[in-house]
Amino acid sequence: MKLSTQKRTAILQAAKEAFLSQGFRSTSMDQVAELAQVSKRTVYNHFENKEALFRAVSVGLCAQAKTLPVIYCPHASLHEQLLEIAHQEVKVLTSKPYVAAFRALLVESFELPGIAEQIASEIPDDDSLKDWITAAAKDGQLNCPDTKQATTHFYTLIKGVFFWPVIIGFGTAPKGKERQRYLENTIAMFLGYYSAKD
């Protein structure tokens, strides 16, 4: 592997660690260079400036965060399937790297408006839940003319408890039995409204 590429990778890796553990502002380019075992000038040879480096790191981070798609299965219970999806989602949303990345990005998007859009535009959407709901609706198992709203309801109910409190650093996501209980009740409410019983 070319030396130049090795250095580039080292810089990205170092920047990722630094940004995630300390945030954008508190990370200096000197730090990144030292951590990457690279001269500062080399950092600037690969990335025009600090912001460009941050963008590159962010794109890499976002690309990682994907849930396993859960395929709609006409013969299994809706409740069980949604539970599986929910657990998947919670796992990703509460994972250390995801939370750290989201926070770092959030702070930056406050100070550099437009950066979020820039990064988002480079990342494909994750539509696995929406696809599942659409499939279930088509199969006649769900009664929701507005799949977008149903998707929103579902995500919202999960994120409100497992994601946002963690992001803002106010409390932690419920675990174990409590998590299970919340998810079951929530899915019961969701299906109470959306499942096609009649």
Partner DNA sequence: CAAAAAGTAAACTGTACAGTGTAGTTTACT
Partner DNA sequence: AGTAAACTACACTGTACAGTTTACTTTTTG
Report the site for a copy of itself in 145-184 (rule: CB under 8 A).
149, 152-153, 155-157, 159-161, 164, 168-170, 182
Cβ-based neighbours of 67, under 8 Å, separated by 6 or more:
85, 88, 89, 92, 126, 128
- Tell which one of 12, 18, 20, 38 touches DNA (CB under 7 A): 38
Which is closer to a copy of itself, CB of 60 or CB of 174? 174
Distance, CA of 19 to CA of 2 (rounded, Å): 26
Cβ proximity to DNA: between 38 and 56 the closer is 38
Least CB distance to a copy of itself at residue 46 (A): 27
Largest interatomic CA distance in the chain: 69
> Nearest distance from residue 25's CB to a copy of itself, in Å?
7
User: Given the complex with DNA, which of 28 and 152 has the nearer CB atom?
Assistant: 28
- Per DSSP, helices labelled H in the chain are 3-22, 29-36, 40-46, 50-64, 78-94, 96-111, 115-120, 128-138, 147-162, 164-167, 176-194
Distance CA 164, CA 156 (A): 10
Residue 95 binding partner per list DNA, a copy of itself, none, with a CB distance cut-off of 5 to 8 Å that depends on partner kind: none
- Choose among a copy of itself, DNA, none what residue 161 binds, the Cβ cut-off being 5 to 8 Å by kind: a copy of itself
Q: Does 9 bind DNA (CB under 7 A)?
A: no
